[in-house]
Chain A
Amino acid sequence: MDISTEVLQDTLIVRLQGELDLHTASMFRDEVDNILSRRRRITKVMLSLNGVTFIDSSGLGALLGRYKKIMQRGGRIVIAEMSPGVKKLLELSGVNKIIPLFDTEWEALKKLGLSAISLEQLKSNQEENRRMYTGGLFNGDK
Protein backbone atom coordinates (compact mmCIF):
# COMPACT_ATOMS: atom_id res chain seq x y z
CA MET A 1 0.00 0.00 0.00
CA ASP A 2 1.30 3.43 -1.02
CA ILE A 3 -0.05 6.46 0.79
CA SER A 4 0.68 10.01 -0.30
CA THR A 5 -0.68 13.04 1.48
CA GLU A 6 -0.93 16.72 0.72
CA VAL A 7 -2.32 19.56 2.83
CA LEU A 8 -3.98 22.56 1.19
CA GLN A 9 -5.19 25.14 3.73
CA ASP A 10 -7.73 23.26 5.87
CA THR A 11 -7.94 20.26 3.54
CA LEU A 12 -6.05 16.99 3.74
CA ILE A 13 -5.74 15.09 0.48
CA VAL A 14 -4.91 11.40 0.84
CA ARG A 15 -4.12 9.30 -2.22
CA LEU A 16 -4.06 5.55 -1.79
CA GLN A 17 -2.55 2.91 -4.03
CA GLY A 18 -2.65 -0.83 -3.64
CA GLU A 19 -4.89 -3.15 -1.64
CA LEU A 20 -6.80 -1.95 1.40
CA ASP A 21 -7.32 -4.88 3.79
CA LEU A 22 -6.75 -5.78 7.44
CA HIS A 23 -2.99 -5.45 7.08
CA THR A 24 -2.78 -2.20 5.14
CA ALA A 25 -5.81 -0.53 6.78
CA SER A 26 -3.77 0.03 9.94
CA MET A 27 -1.03 1.80 7.94
CA PHE A 28 -3.63 4.06 6.37
CA ARG A 29 -5.31 4.73 9.75
CA ASP A 30 -2.03 5.57 11.50
CA GLU A 31 -0.85 7.87 8.70
CA VAL A 32 -4.09 9.87 8.52
CA ASP A 33 -4.69 10.02 12.29
CA ASN A 34 -1.13 11.17 12.81
CA ILE A 35 -1.60 14.13 10.46
CA LEU A 36 -5.02 14.96 11.92
CA SER A 37 -3.68 15.05 15.47
CA ARG A 38 -0.67 17.20 14.52
CA ARG A 39 -2.65 19.67 12.41
CA ARG A 40 -5.75 20.68 14.29
CA ARG A 41 -6.76 23.17 11.58
CA ILE A 42 -7.63 20.42 9.13
CA THR A 43 -11.40 20.02 8.93
CA LYS A 44 -11.78 18.55 5.46
CA VAL A 45 -10.46 15.31 4.04
CA MET A 46 -10.51 13.96 0.51
CA LEU A 47 -9.63 10.31 0.05
CA SER A 48 -8.61 9.54 -3.51
CA LEU A 49 -8.88 5.81 -4.20
CA ASN A 50 -7.72 5.98 -7.81
CA GLY A 51 -4.96 3.41 -7.29
CA VAL A 52 -6.87 1.10 -4.94
CA THR A 53 -7.22 -2.28 -6.62
CA PHE A 54 -8.94 -4.13 -3.76
CA ILE A 55 -10.96 -3.33 -0.68
CA ASP A 56 -12.76 -5.53 1.88
CA SER A 57 -14.70 -4.90 5.10
CA SER A 58 -11.50 -4.07 7.02
CA GLY A 59 -10.68 -1.39 4.43
CA LEU A 60 -14.23 -0.04 4.51
CA GLY A 61 -14.04 0.05 8.31
CA ALA A 62 -10.87 2.13 8.11
CA LEU A 63 -12.54 4.63 5.76
CA LEU A 64 -15.54 4.90 8.08
CA GLY A 65 -13.24 5.30 11.08
CA ARG A 66 -11.66 8.40 9.49
CA TYR A 67 -15.19 9.74 8.85
CA LYS A 68 -15.96 9.45 12.56
CA LYS A 69 -12.67 11.13 13.45
CA ILE A 70 -13.23 14.15 11.19
CA MET A 71 -16.88 14.46 12.24
CA GLN A 72 -15.73 14.79 15.85
CA ARG A 73 -14.10 18.10 14.94
CA GLY A 74 -17.10 19.18 12.88
CA GLY A 75 -15.43 18.53 9.56
CA ARG A 76 -16.27 16.79 6.30
CA ILE A 77 -14.88 13.91 4.30
CA VAL A 78 -15.36 12.82 0.69
CA ILE A 79 -14.12 9.95 -1.47
CA ALA A 80 -13.00 10.40 -5.09
CA GLU A 81 -11.99 8.23 -8.04
CA MET A 82 -12.65 4.57 -7.38
CA SER A 83 -12.58 1.47 -9.60
CA PRO A 84 -15.91 -0.28 -10.34
CA GLY A 85 -15.03 -3.10 -7.92
CA VAL A 86 -14.26 -0.72 -5.06
CA LYS A 87 -17.36 1.38 -5.82
CA LYS A 88 -19.53 -1.74 -5.69
CA LEU A 89 -18.35 -2.53 -2.15
CA LEU A 90 -18.78 1.08 -1.00
CA GLU A 91 -22.39 0.89 -2.22
CA LEU A 92 -23.15 -2.61 -0.97
CA SER A 93 -21.92 -1.72 2.52
CA GLY A 94 -23.87 1.55 2.58
CA VAL A 95 -20.68 3.59 3.09
CA ASN A 96 -21.79 5.75 0.12
CA LYS A 97 -24.77 6.91 2.19
CA ILE A 98 -22.40 8.22 4.86
CA ILE A 99 -19.43 9.46 2.82
CA PRO A 100 -20.22 11.18 -0.52
CA LEU A 101 -18.54 9.61 -3.58
CA PHE A 102 -17.23 11.57 -6.57
CA ASP A 103 -15.86 10.39 -9.92
CA THR A 104 -13.05 12.95 -9.99
CA GLU A 105 -10.82 14.67 -7.44
CA TRP A 106 -11.88 18.05 -8.86
CA GLU A 107 -15.56 17.46 -8.18
CA ALA A 108 -14.76 16.18 -4.71
CA LEU A 109 -12.56 19.16 -3.85
CA LYS A 110 -15.08 21.63 -5.25
CA LYS A 111 -17.72 20.01 -3.07
CA LEU A 112 -15.44 20.57 -0.09
CA GLY A 113 -15.44 24.24 -1.04
CA LEU A 114 -11.81 24.59 -2.06
CA SER A 115 -11.18 27.96 -3.66
CA ALA A 116 -10.23 28.37 -7.31
CA ILE A 117 -6.75 29.48 -6.21
CA SER A 118 -6.23 26.29 -4.21
CA LEU A 119 -7.37 24.18 -7.12
CA GLU A 120 -4.87 25.99 -9.36
CA GLN A 121 -2.15 25.38 -6.82
CA LEU A 122 -3.03 21.70 -6.69
CA LYS A 123 -2.94 21.48 -10.45
CA SER A 124 0.54 22.95 -10.62
CA ASN A 125 1.72 20.53 -7.90
CA GLN A 126 0.40 17.66 -9.95
CA GLU A 127 2.05 18.91 -13.12
CA GLU A 128 5.31 19.14 -11.22
CA ASN A 129 4.90 15.50 -10.14
CA ARG A 130 4.12 14.46 -13.69
CA ARG A 131 7.29 16.16 -14.93
CA MET A 132 9.27 14.16 -12.40
CA TYR A 133 7.75 10.97 -13.75
CA THR A 134 8.30 11.71 -17.42
CA GLY A 135 11.66 13.35 -16.76
CA GLY A 136 13.25 9.97 -16.18
CA LEU A 137 13.43 10.10 -12.40
CA PHE A 138 10.86 7.35 -12.03
CA ASN A 139 11.18 5.79 -15.48
CA GLY A 140 10.18 2.17 -15.67
CA ASP A 141 8.11 2.72 -12.58
CA LYS A 142 4.97 3.64 -14.43
Chain B
Amino acid sequence: MSQFSDLRAVSRHGAGFLVARDVLSVAMIVADADGRSGADGAERVIDTVHALPGLEGLDRAAIRKAGLQASEGLARRGVEAVFSDAAERLDARTANAAILLACRVALIDGGISADGDAVLRPMARRLGIGPSRLEAIRVLAARREARAGGRP
Protein backbone atom coordinates (compact mmCIF):
# COMPACT_ATOMS: atom_id res chain seq x y z
CA MET B 1 0.00 0.00 0.00
CA SER B 2 1.28 3.46 -0.81
CA GLN B 3 1.14 6.33 1.60
CA PHE B 4 -1.90 7.65 -0.29
CA SER B 5 -3.88 4.45 0.26
CA ASP B 6 -2.79 4.26 3.89
CA LEU B 7 -3.94 7.82 4.47
CA ARG B 8 -7.28 7.09 2.83
CA ALA B 9 -7.72 4.09 5.11
CA VAL B 10 -6.89 6.20 8.15
CA SER B 11 -9.37 8.82 6.99
CA ARG B 12 -12.13 6.23 6.76
CA HIS B 13 -11.38 3.95 9.70
CA GLY B 14 -9.23 6.01 12.06
CA ALA B 15 -5.57 5.85 13.02
CA GLY B 16 -6.05 2.36 14.50
CA PHE B 17 -6.43 0.88 11.03
CA LEU B 18 -2.72 0.86 10.28
CA VAL B 19 -1.96 -0.54 13.73
CA ALA B 20 -4.48 -3.30 13.09
CA ARG B 21 -2.87 -4.14 9.79
CA ASP B 22 0.57 -4.36 11.39
CA VAL B 23 -0.69 -6.47 14.29
CA LEU B 24 -2.52 -8.80 11.93
CA SER B 25 0.53 -9.02 9.65
CA VAL B 26 2.76 -10.20 12.51
CA ALA B 27 0.20 -12.78 13.61
CA MET B 28 -0.23 -14.02 10.04
CA ILE B 29 3.52 -14.50 9.66
CA VAL B 30 3.60 -16.71 12.75
CA ALA B 31 0.43 -18.52 11.68
CA ASP B 32 1.96 -19.24 8.30
CA ALA B 33 5.15 -20.63 9.89
CA ASP B 34 2.95 -22.67 12.21
CA GLY B 35 1.30 -24.39 9.28
CA ARG B 36 -1.80 -22.22 8.75
CA SER B 37 -0.97 -20.62 5.48
CA GLY B 38 -2.92 -18.74 2.82
CA ALA B 39 -6.46 -17.48 3.04
CA ASP B 40 -7.43 -19.99 5.70
CA GLY B 41 -4.67 -18.78 8.01
CA ALA B 42 -5.57 -15.15 7.34
CA GLU B 43 -9.24 -15.80 8.12
CA ARG B 44 -8.32 -17.52 11.36
CA VAL B 45 -6.18 -14.58 12.43
CA ILE B 46 -8.92 -12.09 11.57
CA ASP B 47 -11.53 -14.14 13.43
CA THR B 48 -9.33 -14.38 16.52
CA VAL B 49 -8.98 -10.63 17.04
CA HIS B 50 -10.97 -9.65 20.10
CA ALA B 51 -10.41 -6.45 22.02
CA LEU B 52 -6.68 -6.21 21.47
CA PRO B 53 -4.82 -3.17 22.79
CA GLY B 54 -4.47 -0.54 20.08
CA LEU B 55 -7.47 -1.74 18.09
CA GLU B 56 -10.15 -0.08 20.19
CA GLY B 57 -12.74 1.70 18.14
CA LEU B 58 -12.28 -0.38 15.00
CA ASP B 59 -15.36 -2.22 13.84
CA ARG B 60 -15.32 -5.72 12.40
CA ALA B 61 -15.49 -4.47 8.83
CA ALA B 62 -12.40 -2.30 9.33
CA ILE B 63 -10.51 -5.16 11.00
CA ARG B 64 -11.46 -7.49 8.16
CA LYS B 65 -10.26 -4.94 5.61
CA ALA B 66 -7.02 -4.49 7.54
CA GLY B 67 -6.59 -8.27 7.61
CA LEU B 68 -7.13 -8.61 3.89
CA GLN B 69 -4.62 -5.84 3.25
CA ALA B 70 -2.15 -7.56 5.56
CA SER B 71 -2.58 -10.84 3.69
CA GLU B 72 -2.19 -9.13 0.31
CA GLY B 73 0.85 -7.25 1.54
CA LEU B 74 2.57 -10.44 2.68
CA ALA B 75 1.83 -12.13 -0.63
CA ARG B 76 3.04 -9.16 -2.66
CA ARG B 77 5.99 -7.82 -0.67
CA GLY B 78 7.18 -10.79 1.34
CA VAL B 79 7.59 -11.46 5.05
CA GLU B 80 10.74 -9.46 5.71
CA ALA B 81 9.57 -6.23 4.08
CA VAL B 82 6.18 -6.32 5.78
CA PHE B 83 7.63 -7.23 9.18
CA SER B 84 10.32 -4.55 9.01
CA ASP B 85 7.71 -1.86 8.36
CA ALA B 86 5.47 -3.20 11.11
CA ALA B 87 8.33 -3.39 13.63
CA GLU B 88 9.16 0.23 12.90
CA ARG B 89 5.61 1.41 13.53
CA LEU B 90 4.46 -0.76 16.43
CA ASP B 91 5.07 0.58 19.92
CA ALA B 92 5.52 -1.61 23.03
CA ARG B 93 1.80 -1.86 23.64
CA THR B 94 0.81 -2.80 20.13
CA ALA B 95 3.82 -5.11 19.73
CA ASN B 96 2.56 -7.04 22.77
CA ALA B 97 -0.85 -7.18 21.12
CA ALA B 98 0.67 -8.59 17.92
CA ILE B 99 2.52 -11.38 19.74
CA LEU B 100 -0.51 -12.10 21.93
CA LEU B 101 -2.63 -12.51 18.82
CA ALA B 102 -0.01 -14.74 17.20
CA CYS B 103 0.07 -16.98 20.30
CA ARG B 104 -3.72 -17.20 20.48
CA VAL B 105 -4.00 -18.21 16.83
CA ALA B 106 -1.40 -20.93 17.41
CA LEU B 107 -3.19 -22.18 20.53
CA ILE B 108 -6.42 -22.81 18.66
CA ASP B 109 -4.90 -26.03 17.35
CA GLY B 110 -3.29 -26.96 20.64
CA GLY B 111 0.00 -25.11 20.66
CA ILE B 112 2.83 -23.58 18.68
CA SER B 113 4.84 -25.97 16.55
CA ALA B 114 8.63 -25.96 16.53
CA ASP B 115 8.58 -24.14 13.18
CA GLY B 116 6.18 -21.56 14.51
CA ASP B 117 8.25 -21.11 17.64
CA ALA B 118 11.38 -20.64 15.53
CA VAL B 119 9.72 -17.67 13.87
CA LEU B 120 7.93 -16.30 16.93
CA ARG B 121 10.97 -15.91 19.19
CA PRO B 122 13.18 -13.82 16.89
CA MET B 123 10.19 -11.74 15.83
CA ALA B 124 9.35 -11.02 19.45
CA ARG B 125 12.95 -10.09 20.08
CA ARG B 126 12.93 -7.64 17.14
CA LEU B 127 9.77 -6.12 18.57
CA GLY B 128 11.57 -5.54 21.88
CA ILE B 129 9.92 -8.42 23.73
CA GLY B 130 12.38 -10.48 25.77
CA PRO B 131 12.05 -14.22 26.67
CA SER B 132 10.39 -13.67 30.03
CA ARG B 133 7.90 -11.22 28.60
CA LEU B 134 7.18 -13.61 25.75
CA GLU B 135 6.52 -16.39 28.24
CA ALA B 136 4.10 -14.16 30.13
CA ILE B 137 2.27 -13.39 26.89
CA ARG B 138 2.03 -17.10 26.11
CA VAL B 139 0.43 -17.73 29.50
CA LEU B 140 -1.99 -14.86 28.98
CA ALA B 141 -2.87 -16.15 25.51
CA ALA B 142 -3.54 -19.61 26.90
CA ARG B 143 -5.84 -18.21 29.58
CA ARG B 144 -7.75 -16.11 27.09
CA GLU B 145 -8.05 -18.95 24.64
CA ALA B 146 -9.29 -21.22 27.39
CA ARG B 147 -11.93 -18.67 28.33
CA ALA B 148 -12.92 -18.15 24.72
CA GLY B 149 -13.18 -21.75 23.59
CA GLY B 150 -12.63 -24.08 26.50
CA ARG B 151 -9.36 -25.23 25.01
CA PRO B 152 -6.19 -25.54 27.09
Say if A and B assemble together.
Answer: no
